[in-house]
């Protein structure tokens, strides 16, 4: 396939029920972004869980953990993750516990940097241990900010298959930004924000719309 073929396939999806599903999902994310500090923090915890882990399983664990994410007790968080079969209970419990110190500041940070998407994401990369560029982009997209690409291996695969990028040996911060900039061409061509484009690319690669 080629770049033009990929654009054509996405344009076809924009005329289908897939667009309706994506529009609904984005509306859900914006509702989360306008909800309580606790709900926003639980979404951040979900994104901490997804690194090198199956996203569907992470959603299931997020739902079962619920307000456990808010308990300021490392051992309680760790033991609940372990009980639920999470793969990395020790290190991710520590990340969640450390992130709690910023729980009530997240909205203030968002308001401070909301007009500078680069600085907003960078704050989370710099201040929330366990959130790299992908996870920070994922979190911000899941609370309604659509300016970021979420470069997981599914997205890398489809971009590589269509000759848009060469698969990087390692996805460094510099390489992440470089690929994200390349994707802006497609988002502009399709009149989509990067966070919307991610849904279409994901659907073409795995056949479903996911969180």
Reported as a pLDDT band with limits 50, 70 and 90, residue 4 is: confident
- In this predicted structure, the answer to whether residue 106 has a pLDDT above a threshold of 60 is yes
Catalytic residue among 152, 157, 169, 184: 152
pTM for this entry: 0.93
Task: Please give the C-alpha separations between residue 73 and each of 1, 69, 81, in angstroms, as whole numbers.
Answer: 51, 9, 13
Tens of pLDDT, residue by residue over 14-52, are: 999 999 999 999 999 999 999 999 999 999 999 999 988
Q: Are residues 138 and 159 in the same domain?
A: no
| The predicted structure's pLDDT at residue 1 | 56
Q: Are residues 43 and 96 in the same domain?
A: yes
- 57, part of any domain: yes
Among residues 93, 108, 142, the one where a domain terminates is: 142
- In this predicted structure, the answer to whether residue 211 has a pLDDT above a threshold of 80 is no
Please report the DSSP string for 49-95 in residue order.
HHTTS-HHHHHHHHHHHGGGGG-S-HHHHHHHHHHTT-S-HHHHHHH
Range of the domain at 96: 35-142
- Residue whose C-alpha is closest to residue 209's, from 6, 5, 24: 24
| The predicted structure's pLDDT at residue 205 | 85
Q: What is the mean pLDDT of the chain?
A: 93
| The predicted structure's pLDDT at residue 43 | 96
Quick check: is 104 catalytic?
no
Contact 134/150 with Cβ under 8 angstroms? yes
Catalytic residue among 134, 175, 198, 211: 134
Quick check: is 166 catalytic?
no
Q: Are residues 156 and 58 in the same domain?
A: no
Q: What domain count does the chain have? A: 2
Q: Are residues 134 and 59 in the same domain?
A: yes
Tens of pLDDT, residue by residue over 184-203, are: 888 888 999 999 999 999 99
């Amino acid at each position: 396939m080629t770049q033009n073929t990929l654009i054509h396939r996405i344009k076809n999806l924009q005329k289908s029920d897939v667009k309706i599903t994506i529009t609904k999902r984005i509306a859900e994310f914006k509702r989360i972004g306008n909800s309580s500090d606790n709900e926003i923090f639980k979404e951040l915890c979900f994104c901490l869980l997804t690194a090198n882990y199956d996203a569907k399983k992470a959603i299931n664990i997020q739902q079962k953990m619920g307000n456990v994410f808010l308990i300021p007790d490392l051992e309680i968080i760790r033991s609940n993750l372990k009980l639920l079969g999470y793969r990395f209970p020790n290190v991710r419990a520590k990340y969640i516990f450390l992130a709690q110190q910023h729980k009530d500041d997240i909205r203030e940070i968002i308001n401070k940097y909301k007009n500078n998407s680069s600085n907003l994401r960078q704050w989370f990369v710099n201040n929330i241990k366990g959130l790299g560029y992908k996870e920070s982009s994922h979190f911000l997209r899941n609370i309604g900010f659509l300016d970021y690409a979420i470069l997981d291996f599914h997205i890398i695969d489809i971009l590589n298959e269509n000759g848009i990028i060469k698969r990087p040996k390692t996805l460094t911060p510099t390489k992440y930004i470089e690929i994200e900039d390349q994707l802006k061409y497609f988002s502009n061509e399709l009149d989509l924000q990067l966070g919307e484009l991610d849904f279409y690319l994901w659907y073409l690669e795995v056949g479903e719309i996911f969180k």
